[in-house]
Amino acid sequence: MNKLLKPTQILVFTILILILATFVWQFFNPFAKLLFLPLGILSIYYLLLNVFVKLYQQKTSNMWFYVGLFFITIPLLAFLVAYKQIMEFSFNIVNSLAG
């Protein structure tokens, strides 16, 4: 799991920078608010994955490394495949909150 610690930390840092960039971008484009929900869910997921990797650092087998890579790539692939549905869901949530 030591090999997985750095990629998870990089993903958490990247997603947090994307959230900050989306916050700035929303002042120029009102549809940028749609990205807050998916990015927030991804950041929570990768934070939990990062905590899990830190807890199990002593497990250094190749099986744990590949399981970790699987759990890293699945949300990214799901977001790429279902991008339109995720944006529609986020649009409905933003509209319901805006009232």
Averages of pLDDT over runs of 10 residues in the chain (99 residues) are 82 92 91 88 91 78 84 91 92 86
Cα separation, 36 vs 18, whole angstroms: 9
Cα separation, 67 vs 65, whole angstroms: 5
Residue 91 and residue 34 in contact, taking contact as beta carbons nearer than 8 Å? yes
Q: Which residues contact 46 (CB under 8 A, 6 or more apart)?
A: 8, 11, 12, 15, 72, 75
**First CA to last CA distance, the chain:** 46
The whole-number pLDDT of residue 59 equals 61
Please give the C-alpha separations between residue 71 and each of 25, 33, 34, in angstroms, as whole numbers.
Answer: 29, 27, 24
Q: What is the pTM of this model?
A: 0.83
- List the chain domain ranges: 2-98
